[in-house]
Chains A and B, each alone.
Chain A
Amino acid sequence: MAKIPKIALIGNPNAGKSSLFNTLTGLRQKTGNFPGVTMDKLTGIWELGPKNQIEILDLPGIYSIYPKSIDEELVINILGNPAHPDYPDMAIVVADASNLKRNLLLFSQVRDLGIPTVLALNMIDVAENEGYVINSIKLARELSVEVAEVNAKKGIGVNGLKLSVQKTLENRFASNDGLPLPVSDELITEIQSAFGEVDPYRCLLWLMEHDRMKMFTKAQCAALDQIMVKHSFEPKKYKSAETVKRYEFLTEVVDRCVINLNRQWDAPPVKTWTDRLDKLFLHPVGGYLFFLAILFVMFQAVFTWATYPMDAIDAGVALLNDWLKGILPESTFRGLLTDGLIAGIGGVLIFIPQIAFLFFFISMLEETGYMSRVMFIMDKLMRRFGLNGKSVVPLLSSVACAVPAIMSTRSIGSRKDRLITILVTPLMSCSARLPIYTVLIALVVPEKNTLFGLFNLQGLVLFILYLLGFFMALFSAYIMKLILKAKEKSYFIMELPTYKGPRFKHVSYTILNNVKAFVFEAGKVIVAISIILWVLASYGPGNSMEDATSRIKIQNPNLSGVELSNKIAGEKLENSYAGHFGKFIEPAIRPLGYDWKIGIALITSFAAREVFVGTMSTIYSLGGEIDNENATIKNRMRAEINPQTGKPMYDMALGFSLLIFYAFAMQCMSTLATTYRETKSWKYPLIQFGYMTALAYLSAFLVYQTLS
């Protein structure tokens, strides 16, 4: 089969790049692991016709070829390096016609790199509403490029775009203006002779941005630095002068190709919807109230509405398990399948409704353009704590899961702000903590109404736990702000896009992709641990398991039936490998009020905290007291007696100690791996693990000692 041509989609943020991508590729998308809010690259297949396929690569939105943050680096790493596996055969630059000049800046840079380019003019309807008429034929002539008018959202103009793309692919014509500002020929020749014959502008890109490009070795970077010194070339000055020069040219082009009706008729500027909405959303008081209201609805959805589908999933898994237990003969395999594997998978599936709801809200806020208003009104507050208005998105997403949240910090330009955001993000209570909270709160907090019956006491405690996570994140950020040194100043120069109606297709892709990623990424870990745990709890060193059985039989000669098998199961668990592990760490966790059974849960949930509830149910069902239909994990834990005091094991002190521990502890392998990947150093995941564990241990210790 012939090689499929590759096209890169490039454009300013909010120019409609993703809409066009979705329109062209539909469901034929291949996603990175956590796409959507994270701005990874996406690829998909565009079918030009039967047997004529094109691979489309959607790159993060940028304003200029010169990157300012880590997510933007990806673009020059692909466009700057012809040897890159994703290097495109051509590019489509998507431009917002209502803001043509600024969008053309990027277009002119991409074209000068020597990449054949088509200009897709999007949002012409918006421009016309604002009184601008664009002569795209003239524009095509002036820029010597194929121009296609499209409406990416409605999918209009795709055939015209097809023609432009086919023509450009055949000609492989890159209209190239050479260098925007002249430099000495020797400079270019020197780079070309050392690194290859490429367009002069690409040479300059290499010269100025080699630190951010992965294609260069340390020696090559040093060589480029030397060339820079030799010719006393100043990148900052050049880039600024280049930008001014490009704008001068583009202003002339736009003046010739765009007619401003407002100026001709001397009409007053139109008052747009965006202006009106911003009056409300950016209001000093009203803006905050509105944001709080949105948060309230969001939490309401996640904690109340999501419970219905969650209960259904839970019941479904239980039903399946009972059915399997009924039809399969009693065996080791049945135990592994039902109590190990299916229970583990159920533990993953149950999170789907909450994750779906959260990403529904987050992507709606981003789609409509409201999210940047939230950043705007929160920046000053967040800055006091060493964070940044842009930290709001990661903190908010980490209520669902810290992994995509940490990846979304790539858009934060300042390294220090980004690092602090990454380090404190896992303190926000993610959805994996929710089942732990739910079970423990139900055990130790009485179900009654308070504050004139307005709030349910259990709900209030849950809410306080979430607030606690948020404030601890702020507090830790503040401490880190004092410790960490900043090399560069943080900045907050950001477009406030116009408000747009959400593209529900895009929203559903985001939800789908995130749920998929969660089920497969987190699911693998959880299922693996469930199986390992089941093995560890079912087998013990040497003959200990058989010995346990005979010991109980000798000690309790009068017992029989269910009671006897329960006693045996309990003794077996204590003598299993898992029991030995739990006993081993018991001295360390005694001061927090935990026994060896909780110790097992702590160890297993180290890799993923959502395993806690599963482990508890495995432990208590293996060593359980009763085994009837109503014996839920809650009832089993409630029936547990503290052997030292003779009172219920799960009292206030232990319950709250565990709640606090899980609120602060860094128990998620995937998060640590993501921190490693995003910071490219083991130092930061280690710091993250260390400070959070210390925080969890100390707080749980204080809580237990005060309450008991």
Chain B
Amino acid sequence: MRTVADLGIGDHGFISGFTDEKLSLKLLEMGCLPGTEVILTHHAPFGDPIAIKVSGYTLSMRREEAATILINHK
């Protein structure tokens, strides 16, 4: 399964689900809804955390958190 953590800079995908129930609420509230497009825009130095564009703004998260967001190409 591909996750947001697998994206390279500039890559995009569509959210298809979550693997961590506790994090998923926070992510949903922040606008990471199933079907929404995400684009990876930045890596922090050492590759972690990452920043993604979602629902029209920039959201940062750690790599391990990004790995709980499943994506697919539509």
Interface residues of A, Cβ cutoff 8 Å to B: 63-64, 66, 68, 98-99, 101-102, 105, 236-237, 239-240, 243-244, 247, 274-275, 278, 282, 284-285, 287-288, 372, 376-377, 379-381, 389, 491-498
Q: How far is the CA of A282 from the CA of B27 in the complex (A)?
A: 22
Q: Which interface residue of A63, A236, A282 has the most chain B CB atoms within 10 A?
A: A282
Say yes or no: B22 contacts A244, CB within 8 Å.
no
Say yes or no: B51 contacts A496, CB within 8 Å.
yes
Name the B residues within 8 Å of A496 (CB-CB).
51, 57-60
Say yes or no: B58 contacts A495, CB within 8 Å.
yes
Name the B residues within 8 Å of A493 (CB-CB).
23, 26-27, 30, 59-61, 65
Name the B residues within 8 Å of A381 (CB-CB).
46
4 nearest A-B pairs in the assembled complex, by CB-CB distance:
A496-B58, A284-B45, A64-B29, A243-B28
**B41, CB-defined interface residue at 8 Å:** yes
Say yes or no: A379 contacts B62, CB within 8 Å.
yes
Q: What would 10 more interface pairs be, CB under 8 Å, given A66-B25, A284-B43, A376-B42?
A: A64-B29, A244-B28, A287-B44, A379-B44, A379-B48, A380-B45, A380-B46, A380-B48, A389-B49, A495-B59
Name the A residues within 8 Å of B19 (CB-CB).
none
Q: How far is the CA of A236 from the CA of B34 in the complex (A)?
A: 17
A-contact 0/1 string along B12-41, CB 8 Å cutoff: 000000000111111111110110000001
With contact pairs A376-B44, A493-B65 given, residues A68 and B26 touching in the complex (Cβ less than 8 Å): yes
List 8 interface pairs A-B (beta carbons < 8 Å), by A numbering: A63-B30, A68-B26, A284-B46, A372-B60, A376-B49, A492-B62, A492-B65, A493-B23
Count residues of chain B with CB under 8 A from any CB of chain A.
31
User: Measured between C-beta atoms, what is the minimum distance from A225 to chain B in Å?
Assistant: 19
Nearest CB in chain A to that of B31: its residue = A102
Q: How far is the CA of A271 from the CA of B3 in the complex (A)?
A: 26
Partner of A105, one of B23, B29, B56, B65: B29
Partner of B58, one of A274, A389, A492: A274
Say yes or no: A236 contacts B41, CB within 8 Å.
no
Name the B residues within 8 Å of A379 (CB-CB).
44, 48-49, 62
Name the A residues within 8 Å of B48 (CB-CB).
379-380
A-B contact count (CB 8 A): 106
Name the A residues within 8 Å of B25 (CB-CB).
66, 236, 239-240, 243
Say yes or no: B21 contacts A495, CB within 8 Å.
no
Q: How far is the CA of A496 from the CA of B48 in the complex (A)?
A: 15
Q: How far is the CA of A688 from the CA of B39 in the complex (A)?
A: 44
Please classify the interface of chain A as helix (H, G, I), strand (E, B), loop, or mixed, using the class held by over half of its residues.
helix
Say yes or no: A98 contacts B62, CB within 8 Å.
no
Q: How far is the CA of A622 from the CA of B42 in the complex (A)?
A: 63
Say yes or no: A247 contacts B33, CB within 8 Å.
yes
Nearest CB in chain B to that of A248: its residue = B33
Say yes or no: A236 contacts B22, CB within 8 Å.
yes
Name the B residues within 8 Å of A68 (CB-CB).
26
With contact pairs A282-B42, A380-B44, A380-B46 given, residues A491 and B62 touching in the complex (Cβ less than 8 Å): yes
Name the B residues within 8 Å of A274 (CB-CB).
58
Nearest CB in chain A to that of B26: its residue = A493
A-contact 0/1 string along B48-74, CB 8 Å cutoff: 110100011111111001000000000
Q: How far is the CA of A384 from the CA of B49 in the complex (A)?
A: 13
Name the A residues within 8 Å of B42 (CB-CB).
278, 282, 376
User: Measured between C-beta atoms, what is the minimum distance from B37 to chain A in Å?
Assistant: 12
User: Measured between C-beta atoms, what is the minimum distance from A313 to chain B in Å?
Assistant: 42
Partner of B29, one of A99, A243, A372, A491: A243
Name the B residues within 8 Å of A275 (CB-CB).
41
Name the B residues within 8 Å of A63 (CB-CB).
29-30
Q: How far is the CA of A493 from the CA of B23 in the complex (A)?
A: 9
With contact pairs A278-B42, A491-B65, A496-B59 given, residues A376 and B51 touching in the complex (Cβ less than 8 Å): yes
Name the B residues within 8 Å of A380 (CB-CB).
44-46, 48-49
Q: Which interface residue of B21, B26, B34 has the most chain A CB atoms within 10 A?
A: B26
Say yes or no: A278 contacts B41, CB within 8 Å.
yes
User: Measured between C-beta atoms, what is the minimum distance from A378 to chain B in Å?
Assistant: 8
User: Measured between C-beta atoms, what is the minimum distance from A319 to chain B in Å?
Assistant: 52
Name the B residues within 8 Å of A288 (CB-CB).
45
Name the B residues within 8 Å of A237 (CB-CB).
21
Nearest CB in chain B to that of A288: its residue = B45
Name the A residues within 8 Å of B21 (CB-CB).
236-237, 240
Nearest CB in chain B to that of A65: its residue = B29
Name the B residues within 8 Å of A376 (CB-CB).
42, 44, 49, 51, 60
Q: How far is the CA of A237 from the CA of B56 in the complex (A)?
A: 26
User: Measured between C-beta atoms, what is the minimum distance from B70 to chain A in Å?
Assistant: 15
Q: How far is the CA of A274 from the CA of B53 in the complex (A)?
A: 12
Nearest CB in chain B to that of A64: its residue = B29
Nearest CB in chain A to that of B20: its residue = A489
With contact pairs A240-B25, A244-B33 given, residues A495 and B57 touching in the complex (Cβ less than 8 Å): yes
Name the A residues within 8 Å of B51 (CB-CB).
278, 282, 376, 496
Partner of A99, one of B22, B23, B34, B55: B55
Nearest CB in chain A to that of B55: its residue = A102
With contact pairs A99-B57, A379-B49, A491-B65 given, residues A240 and B44 touching in the complex (Cβ less than 8 Å): no
With contact pairs A243-B29, A244-B34 given, residues A282 and B44 touching in the complex (Cβ less than 8 Å): yes
Say yes or no: B29 contacts A494, CB within 8 Å.
no
Name the B residues within 8 Å of A243 (CB-CB).
25, 28-29
Q: How far is the CA of A101 from the CA of B28 in the complex (A)?
A: 12
